[in-house]
Amino acid sequence: MGRAGLVTALTGSDRSSPDRERAPRPVTVADLVDARSPGFDLLRLVLAGLVLVSHSWPLGGFGAEPGSPLAPDRLTLGGFAVAGFFAMSGLLVGRSAARRPFGSFVRARAVRIVPGYAVAVVASAVPVALLAWIHEHGGLGGFFTLGTDGPVAYVGRALLFPTEMFHNVRGVFATSTPFGTATGEGMVNGSLWTLPYEVRCYLVVGLLAFAVHRWGERRSVLVAWAATGALAVAYRADAELTGFVVGPLADETLVMLLFVFLSGTLAGAFGDRIRLLGPLPVVALIVALVAGRTSLFLSEHVGGAALALLLPPLALLLAPLGARLAGVDLSYGVYLYAWPVQQLLAMYGVTSSATVFVLLSAAITAVVATASWFGVERPLMHRWKRATP
């Protein structure tokens, strides 16, 4: 692909001159990120769809989740998608954090994450859990009474973004769905657990910006990435001791996800040196495949980190299709609402075919995600942008 084709893929228009066509320059990760390629929007939607597909199997009672394409025997397809989310967020958000004041960065992230999350939390309690309660008990009686597993307590805890997420509301779905009968757990929205970890990753890169202003972006990010990797190795060597020392600040899951996140941030810091069509993505793919067949630890950490180099070329390829989304980002809504939609479908007995279950849940989730985008997410983001000088 020549320079003209790459410019078209990045921006949707051909701005190249004949001279540039004769002397093409490799497009880098930094070029793609700075151009705000629509390929990233579509890639986020694809990853959210993979989570939906992966969860369809256990939630619909069709068996275990499909395996990750990079580590089929060690990680699930949903786990692969979550790692992709964190790597891509680290790439995109990390560059933003390094270039704007801390307060502005935090407000921007809060406006993007909190409103949609808060509405999804409330919706998971009422009407989702309420519908399940009525289905299981034949009426409203007892649902709204105060208690540690009541809807009010659920919403209150979830809005604090705890890493130890509480998914139970009055025990609904525990006996009325395939997942509930198999696990004994009534999870109203099991996908929300990643959001508190993502928020903590945002805070880390936001605070890292202070170091960036003093020591430079590359040095600061590299040190933070290496320190997180060392902490992950420490957890691997002695989880009990490491957890005792740093557990209150960074549990093992946070360290793993932060390492993947900072891998994306590191790729962004060196983005002007990483060619999208160069050798590094190929090397990353080979490393990820080897790691995925070696151990769970390497699959999660090394394989997840490799996605920071694998996803940008995919975003480049998806850019022409992504441009058709016209800035509409349904990925967050799909991720937030797929689980409760699938739990309700399973409760109502739509479990005869995995294909039907996936397609129907995807269609309903897309409608709900569209309502979330146009009714909650986009209006608040636009309002914040207008209020920001």
Tens of pLDDT, residue by residue over 356-375, are 999 999 999 999 999 999 99
Task: Decide if pLDDT at 194 tops 50.
Answer: yes
- Residue 28 dihedral angles phi and psi, to the nearest 5°: -105, 170
Question: Exposed (0-12), middle (13-18) or buried (19+): which is 106, by Cβ within 10 Å?
Answer: middle
Question: Exposed (0-12), middle (13-18) or buried (19+): which is 99, by Cβ within 10 Å?
Answer: exposed
CA-angle at 100, arms to 115 and 259, nearest 5°:
75
Q: What is the pTM of this model?
A: 0.92
d(CA 88, CA 40): 8
* Predicted pLDDT at 11: 45
- Residue 67 dihedral angles phi and psi, to the nearest 5°: -85, 160
CA distances from 19 to 1, 2, 4, 31 (A): 16, 12, 11, 19
d(CA 271, CA 276): 9
Tens of pLDDT, residue by residue over 231-266, are 999 999 999 999 999 988 899 999 999 999 999 999
For residue 67, the SS3 value is strand
Q: How does 300-329 read in b/e, with b if 16+ C-beta sit within 10 Å?
A: bbbbbbbbbbbbbbbbbbbbeebbeeeeeb
CA-angle at 193, arms to 190 and 196, nearest 5°:
155
pLDDT band for position 324 (50/70/90)? very high
pLDDT band for position 9 (50/70/90)? very low
Average pLDDT over residues 186-209: 96
102 in Cβ contact with 180 (< 8 Å)? no
194 in Cβ contact with 85 (< 8 Å)? yes
d(CA 114, CA 159): 9
Residues of the chain with pLDDT > 90, as a percent, come to 83
Handedness of CA 302, 308, 312, 318 (dihedral sign): positive
Average pLDDT over residues 152-180: 96
Secondary structure percentages of the chain, helix, strand, coil, to 5: 75, 0, 25
